[in-house]
Homo-oligomer: A and B are copies of this chain.
Amino acid sequence: MLLVMSKNATEKEIEDVIGAIKEQGYTPRPIPGGERMSIGILYNKGPVDGSLFLGMPGVQDAIPVTKPYKLVSREFKPEDTIVSVGGVKVGNGHMTIIAGPCAVESEEQAITIAQKVKAAGADMFRGGAFKPRTSPYAFQGLGLAGLKILEKVRKETGLPVVTEVVDITTFDQVEESADLVQIGTRNMQNFSLLKRAGASKRPILLKRGMAATIEEWLMAAEYILAEGNSQVILCERGVRTFVNHSRNTLDLSAVPVVKTESHLPIIIDPSHAAGKRDQVIPLSRAAVAVESHGIIVEVHHDPGKALSDGAQSLYPEQFEQLCMQVKTIFNSLKV
């Protein structure tokens, strides 16, 4: 933390700030400048709350110098983390394709789609059993029955399954059925849920919040690692901006930034970013070209009858084409 004093801060004000820093157990280091004094705060353990000093007379600005995250940081663990999901590896050199419907609607629907996406090249199956919906009147998912269907999908196809958990109450059951437990965008800062995920035996797929900075996102992951679960996969799914031609704006520069800052794998969800089918394939190609560790894509064999998110779900043939294209790009980059 660097405190910048205002140009006309008095000696007394500067001394008071230095005293306040010491009182917190930190080490102040005054840095006289051309026009004003700055004061570095050193040897702090954990993040310094700049607001402690910002309100003091003469203090103009409090600038964080170091990042608040630890366990998720590459400084802490330089080598890439590879997360294993039911035998499928995610991270460092692998490009994983996860596909399936927005929601599990029936056993027949789920298995039909799972077989199609497996044949096309998917490594894992996705499908929601508990669905967080904006409207209380919209289809909320099959719940526990959906989890049972997911288990059948795994048994029938051999694909590991990923599904979302929406609260602590149902965490045990989701954890029991899923190979990878998803925490959704709207729960990225549901800290109770994050702590529970930290105590889970399953790897966690942590989606970025709709308006989260990368720092906040990594801090959310830090909650999980701090409780003992280091198997976290990050998932960029678009952020909310003024742009109205897609549901969200896919922030692909998050990929190089996360890969620099953290050792955790990062994948891309082009379906929720786009919200429209015809953007999903180009954005998937871009996700692989930017060297994310994989994609998670919505596919439905009959999108016009999907109970949710039909417009962004690919037809199986489109998904097949997508798989071929992203694998071509992935291979071309390996050379």
Contacts and interface: CB of A to CB of B under 8 A. Distances in A.
A168 to B, nearest CB: 6
B75 A7 contact: yes
Contacts of A55: 277, 303-304, 310-311, 313
A269 B333 CA distance: 21
Contact of A186 (B168, B190, B290, B331): B190
Contacts of A308: 49, 51
Given A20-B304, A189-B134, A223-B136, A256 B282 contact: yes
Interface string A12-33: 0000000010000001010101
B7 A65 contact: no
Contact of A168 (B44, B168, B214, B313): B168
A38 interface: yes
Which bucket holds chain A's interface residue count?
A: 35 or more
B279 A285 contact: no
Interface stretch (A110-118, A199-207, A244-252): A244-252
Contacts of A216: 134
A34 B38 contact: no
A226 B335 CA distance: 47
Contacts of A61: 65
Contacts of A309: 51
A282 B289 contact: yes
A335 B327 CA distance: 13
Interface in A125-179: 132-138, 166-169
Copies of this chain, whole number:
4
B282 A213 contact: no
A222 B155 CA distance: 39
A135 B134 CA distance: 27
B36 A66 contact: yes
A252 B304 CA distance: 26
A93 interface: no
A253 B245 contact: yes
A240 interface: yes
A213 B241 CA distance: 11
Interface in A255-300: 255-257, 260, 273-274, 276-279, 282-283, 285-291
Contact of A246 (B190, B253, B273): B253
A52 B300 CA distance: 12
A242 B241 CA distance: 5
B40 A31 contact: yes
A189 B66 CA distance: 31
A188 to B, nearest CB: 8
Contacts of A291: 282, 285
Contact of A289 (B138, B169, B289): B289
Contacts of A27: 34
A228 to B, nearest CB: 12
A108 to B, nearest CB: 19
